[in-house]
Amino acid sequence: MNILSLDTSTDVLSIALKTENSYEERLINGNFSHSENLLGEIISLLKRAGLELKDLNLLIATKGPGSFTGLRVGIASLKGIRAACGAKLVTIETLRAMAYGIKDLSPYPILACIDAKKKRFYYSLFSSDGDVILPVMDADPSEVISIAKEYEKIIITGKDAPLFLSKLESEELREKFIIDEGSPRNIASALIKLGLMKFEEEGEDDIGDGPLYVRRSDAEEALIRKMEGEND
């Protein structure tokens, strides 16, 4: 089976191609334009493996939370490939993939986080086995205080882990956290494992499935405010 996986939920691109005979992954850290460069990266991976788009069997992408634009580009690109070549497509929650990638590296719970802007973060807490303890939140970092008190230590992972930690006012609370020094990690390999499990258990995603948006976009918020103003 030839499997392509990618994460476009932030400005870091994680991408991997697993074939019957080879495996390659790439991490491009920072200011990557998914809309301009993603397809080129996919074609390059395939070319080095001696494959074409029609040779792909399974496509796996993160579905969010994360960048509105990045998620749309990633999923839309793979939907286009699915339509063209008949490959199957599954999507995985971004934070779950981030935590799954380090679950064997520490006995402590794992907090995966992404900067959601506006002084808030998307984050979720997982056990050291990768099971969900706290589902996806869109919240101020201070809201993790009551949860953190229950644990001796918590590993915090993701490109924005240092920023998240800096927003915690209590030094005592900050000492509860250990930053994953390997962040940002390429989570494409974790996506392949999670995607295969999901595909075997549930099959492919429905054609109408799309990104997981924890909050409305700025454009949607502006439209709602406009409509509310017109109705006053």
Cα gap 115→160, rounded to integer Å: 6
- Position 225 scores a pLDDT of 40
| pTM to 2 decimal places | 0.90
Question: What pLDDT is recorded for position 173?
Answer: 86
Instruction: Give the pLDDT confidence score for residue 208 in this predicted structure.
Output: 87
Alpha helices in the chain (DSSP H): 34-49, 68-85, 94-100, 145-148, 161-166, 171-174, 188-202, 218-231
Strand 88-93 and strand 58-64: pairing? parallel
CATH of 3-93+185-219, one of 3.30.420.40, 3.40.50.2000, 3.40.50.2300, 3.40.50.10540: 3.30.420.40
Q: Kindly give, in sequence order, each residue whose CB lies less than 8 Å from that of residue 170, ignoring residues fewer than 6 positions away.
A: 145
Q: In the CATH hierarchy, which top-level class contains the domain 102-179?
A: alpha beta
**Residue type (1 letter), 177:** F
Contacts of 67 (CB under 8 A, 6+ apart): 8, 9, 10, 11
Low pLDDT (below 50) residues in the chain: 217-228
pLDDT of residue 223: 35
What is the structure's pLDDT at 232? 57
Confidence (pLDDT) at 219: 45
What per-residue confidence (pLDDT) applies to 149? Answer: 85
What gap in Å lies between CA 82 and CA 59, rounded to an integer?
8
Parts of the chain belonging to CATH 3.30.420.40:
3-93+185-219, 102-179
Query: Rounded to the nearest 5°, which phi and psi values hold at 130?
Result: 95, 5
CA–CA distances in Å: residue 207 to residues 84, 112, 124, 198, 203: 13, 28, 27, 16, 12
Contact by Cβ (8 Å): 195, 92? yes
Cα dihedral 130, 135, 138, 143 sign: negative
What are the CB-based long-range contacts (under 8 Å, 24+) for 206-211?
207/79, 209/63, 209/91, 210/63, 210/72, 210/75, 211/63, 211/64, 211/68, 211/71, 211/72, 211/75
